[in-house]
Structure 1
Amino acid sequence: MTAAGSGSVPAGRAVHVKVPASTANLGPGFDTLGLALSLYNELDVEVLNGPGLEISVEGVGADDVPRDESNLIWRSLAHTFAWAGVGVPGLRIAARDAIPHGRGMGSSGAAIVAGVMAAKGLLEGIVEIEAGRALALATELEGHPDNVAPALFGSLTIAWMAPEGPQHKRLMVHRGVSPLVAVPTATMSTALARSLQPTSVPHEDAIFNVSRSALLIAALIQSPELLLAATEDKLHQSYRASAMPETDRLIRMLRGHGLAAVVSGAGPAILVLGSDPAQRLEAQRLIAAEAASVWECLLLAVDFRGATVVPHSIDAVA
């Protein structure tokens, strides 16, 4: 379904977009649970006087980001304009990235959400894009909503697919929950990680994860002291362990010390959900002492705002 768009975006219109990182699965909540984190990609998009596409990128992984129409932000923006029935104008896109690529922190989801939000801002007053439509458009490109939902809406999200499209529920996280993400230098392909999944799992493993997923919701919103038990998983992490052995080893070590450590998204980064700030400091110390290679420990907060877009004034470019 497309919107009935009319008109065009005037030259000189410009928006600023800010999108948080996200971590999906959180252990047992495979392809369902996601958490927004206080690490951000930002971009400015302005409409040129004529046709064209100018893309600049700085920050983490900038050298690997395309500067043409294969750029994921532009593809997402163009996808949204196509739904709106409005032609894409000439654009200048300036991106500043802080979210590591290929580590399991939602970098592709953030790029997709950035494009949708940029289009939303540029189309204001021409075609309105409400929250559910933004989620649907982002999911069409990402393939599943577990990363794009928290990136769009912030906090903890439960995402699922319904006949009418992707749905989500946003929940507030207990203020005691203290995330740490340990980021290695190695990357991991999401497609490779998914290829290691079996097509079916034992009935008892499915029941195990249903119970832990339910417990995890309670732990994150009300009882952080339950996070260690609540983050146990039998659906995906063990199957992917062979592709990221040091991630697996460090998670086992951290959990052996009573810390709720899981694979962040498809990995190979590690998410530790501390029940208080002292726990994540202990996790940082243990990783520094036990890791066989360099890992960067990011002490982050839960992002409660999600993606934002605001207009700003830039003179039209000749």
Structure 2
Amino acid sequence: MIKVRVPATSANMGPGFDTLGIAFNLYNIFEFSEIENGVEFEGFKEEFSNKDNIVYKSMMICFNKCNYIPRGLKIKLVEENIPMSRGLGSSSTCIVAGLLGANYIMGNILSLEDLFKIGVEIEGHPDNIAPAFFGGMVVSVIEEKDVIYNKIDVKEGINFVAIIPDFELSTSLARKVLPTEVAFKDAVYNISRASLMISAFSNGRYELLKYACRDSLHEKYRSPLIKNYNLVYNKCISSGALSCFLSGAGPTIMAIIKNDHEEIVGNIKKFLKDEHINWNVKELSIDNVGAKSYKGGTNEREFFNCRQKSFA
């Protein structure tokens, strides 16, 4: 038996469409074991307790690549803390956990890099998969069939505030509203802002984020799908947030604040209550480790405090 903990992630980060992602200290936890026969699901909603479950499908892709046939599988969702279809990488946690669980069952025959590549194949783009595996802020690109990534050393001094709506937004719908072509000026706009954002995170010049987080490729097309988006976004900025961006495909809005400006969180919560906007607010910090796992019988403290080495 093995447990796997995978962090929530936020992709795009404003101008970094399908390229930038970051991991947070909010987790889904799964448990895997090979049983004598059949497939058992525990802890999942009934609609996901079948072979269409993305965790199971990810495991089978991994098994098939290695020509491994499991006797049977038990897949348990131990903790679900990341809401689905909110732009916080819930599906990526399922993919990453499934791959790590399958690899353990096969005897850890694949490296973390191998699993990462399979994960990108399944997801189709690396912006959530990369920080889910490796933690921190990650820049990733696909060059032909290769996935190239690099972690950014983020300077201390900031926290993130996820303002999570009480409704889902499907990724497929959020993709459909995007244009098939963009103006040259919009491409230049995003390249310059993404470059500025990475430099600001690297050297701690967080006052630049008010310029760096701006986007011309996806947010202006997706924000109309989110009721009260402009109202909440503007309140975050007027309350003192350094900047805001649409988390992944949405609908979550992610605000960046200085870590000594806790009153901003209270102001946002009060505003939502006063306006009868039933959104959840979570203050998050960066998870710099990524997915962790531990075997049955191992001290659970090791699971939460140490990087699992058997997959490195």
Q: 2:22 aligns with which of 19, 27, 35?
A: 35
Q: How does 1:271-286 map to 2 (within 5 A)?
A: 271-278=254-261, 281-286=263-268
Structure 1 residue 166 and structure 2 residue 166: aligned? Answer: no
Q: Is the 8 A contact 2:92 2:128 kept in 1?
A: yes
Q: How does 1:231-310 map to 2 (within 5 A)?
A: 231-259=213-241, 260-278=243-261, 281-290=263-272, 291-310=275-294
User: Aligned pair in 2 of structure 1 residues 281, 37: CA closer, same or farther (>3 Å)?
Assistant: farther
Give the C-alpha shift of residue 65 in structure 1: 5.0
Aligned residues: 293
Q: Secondary structure at the match of 1:302?
A: coil
Give the C-alpha shift of residue 80 in structure 1: 0.7
User: Aligned pair in 2 of structure 1 residues 281, 24: CA closer, same or farther (>3 Å)?
Assistant: farther
CA distance in 2, matches of 1:137, 1:281: 42
User: Aligned pair in 2 of structure 1 residues 270, 277: CA closer, same or farther (>3 Å)?
Assistant: farther
The TM-score with structure 1 as length reference comes to 0.87
Q: 1:75 aligns with which of 47, 57, 70?
A: 57
Task: Give the stretch that moved more between structures: 246-255 or 182-191.
Answer: 246-255
Q: Is the 8 A contact 1:117 1:308 kept in 2?
A: no
What are the superposed Cα offsets for residues 112-165 of structure 1, whole Å, 9 maximum, x if unpaired?
01101111222225x2x1222111111111111111110010000001101232
User: Aligned pair in 2 of structure 1 residues 266, 288: CA closer, same or farther (>3 Å)?
Assistant: farther
User: Aligned pair in 2 of structure 1 residues 172, 141: CA closer, same or farther (>3 Å)?
Assistant: same
Name the structure 1 match of 2:174. 193
Q: Is the 8 A contact 2:239 2:264 kept in 1?
A: no
Give the C-alpha shift of residue 286 in structure 1: 2.8
Q: Secondary structure at the match of 2:51?
A: coil
Give the C-alpha shift of residue 275 in structure 1: 3.1
Q: Is the 8 A contact 1:179 1:272 kept in 2?
A: yes
**Gaps (5+ residues) in structure 2?**
299-312
Give the C-alpha shift of residue 167 in structure 1: 2.0
Q: Is the 8 A contact 2:33 2:73 kept in 1?
A: yes
Amino acid at match of 1:289: F
Q: Percent identity?
A: 31
The TM-score with structure 2 as length reference comes to 0.89
Name the structure 2 match of 1:230. 212
User: Aligned pair in 2 of structure 1 residues 229, 195: CA closer, same or farther (>3 Å)?
Assistant: same
CA distance in 1, matches of 2:100, 2:263: 35
CA distance in 2, matches of 1:166, 1:207: 23
Name the structure 2 match of 1:11. none
Task: Give the stretch that moved more between structures: 170-179 or 231-240.
Answer: 170-179
